[in-house]
A = this chain, B = another copy of it.
Amino acid sequence: MPVLTITQAEHVVAAALERANTSPENAARVARALVAAEADGLKGHGLSRVPTYAAQAKAGKVDGRATPTATRPRPGVLAVDAAHGFAYPALAIVADELPEIARAQGVAAAAIRRSHHCGAAGHPVEALAQAGLVALLFANTPAAIAPWGGSVPVFGTNPIAFACPMPAGRAPIVVDLSLSKVARGNILAAKQKGEPIPEGWALDANGNPTTDAEAALKGTMLPLGDAKGTALALMVELLAAGITGANYAAEASSFLDAEGPPPGTGQLILALDPVALGGEASLMRVSALAAMIEGQDGARLPGMRRLALREKARAEGLTVADATMAAIEAV
C-alpha cells in the first residue's frame, strides 16, 4: 500500500478534483480538508470521499467552480452563501472572518446556506479555538432519523462540534459527535457479514425496532439517548437549516451519489470570545477542568486519539489502501 506525505496526499486529491471540473483554489481547499480528516483517523470524512465528491462535481450536483460570498446583515452575523459548491471554501471564509467579528462583538454567528457535506465537524471549530475563541458548529445532513414515535426520516445524523482553547500552548479541547447512536457504516458492515445488528441501532421502514441489517438500511437510524437525541436532532435541524435558509435533511439529496439536485444543506457556527465573557482568567479555568478529568485513571479529554493519529501521520505519512488510491487515480 502506498505511503504518502500529507503534502503528497493533498496534491493527489486536488489533482483528482481538478480533473472533475473543480477550480484549483477549491480543489486545494477540499483536498486539505479531506487529508486532514484522513490524518485524524476520521476515514469516513477522508480520502474515501474523493470518488463521490468528484462524481458530484462532474455531474454538476456540486459546483466545483463556485465562489462563496459573505454578507454582514448585522454586526455579529456573517451570512455565507456556499453557492452549491463544496462546503470547505465557505468554511474558509468563516475561519478567516469570524475571529475578528467575535473579538469585537464578544460573540458572532456564521450561517452557511446552499452548502454540502462539512466533513470532520471538529476541524472548523478547532481552527477557531486556535484563534483563541470558543466555538460551536451545528450541521444538518441528509435525512436518516425519524421524529420520536414516527417512521419517516426528517433529521440528519446532524453533528454537533465544540472547541475551546487551552492555555500554555496545549491543543484545544475538541468535541465532535453525530446524533445517531452509531454510524450507518456499522449497519452496512453487518449486512456485508450477514450478521444481525444490536437492538437500539435502527428502526425498519414501518418505525419498528429491528435487528435485521437489511431492514435497518431501508428504515431509519436511532439517535443517541432515545427521545432526548431526537430533540437534539430537531434543535440542530432548526439551527443549521431552519434559520440559515438552507435545505432541511428531508429536502436534501444524498452527499454520497451524483443523482439529483444539490443537497443545499446548512451549517451554523458560533464563536465566543472567552476573555469577553469570563475575563482574563477564563483559559486558566479551562485548564483546571482538564486537570480534573486527566487526573482520573482511565479518563481522558475527547479528541486525544485524533491528535495522536495526526502526529503519527505528519511524522510517518498516510498509508492509503490500494483500492482507495486506484479510485482516486481513476477520477
Task: Identify the A interface with B (CB < 8 A).
Answer: 73-77, 79, 104-109, 111, 113, 134, 146-152, 154, 160, 162, 164, 173, 175, 177, 181, 207, 224-229, 231-232, 234-235, 237-239, 241-245, 248, 250, 268, 270, 272-274, 276-279, 281-282, 285-286, 288-289, 292-293, 296-302
Contact = CB atoms under 8 A, between A and B. Distances in A.
Q: With a 10 A CB-CB cut-off, give which of A105, A181, A281 has the most chain B CB atoms.
A: A105
A164 B240 CA distance: 13
14 contacts: A75-B75, A76-B105, A77-B276, A107-B107, A107-B108, A147-B296, A150-B293, A150-B296, A150-B297, A154-B289, A234-B289, A242-B278, A243-B277, A245-B281
Contacts of A207: 298
A292 B248 contact: yes
Given A75-B75, A277-B111, A134 B299 contact: no
B111 A109 contact: no
Given A107-B108, A250-B292, A242 B147 contact: no
B76 A108 contact: yes
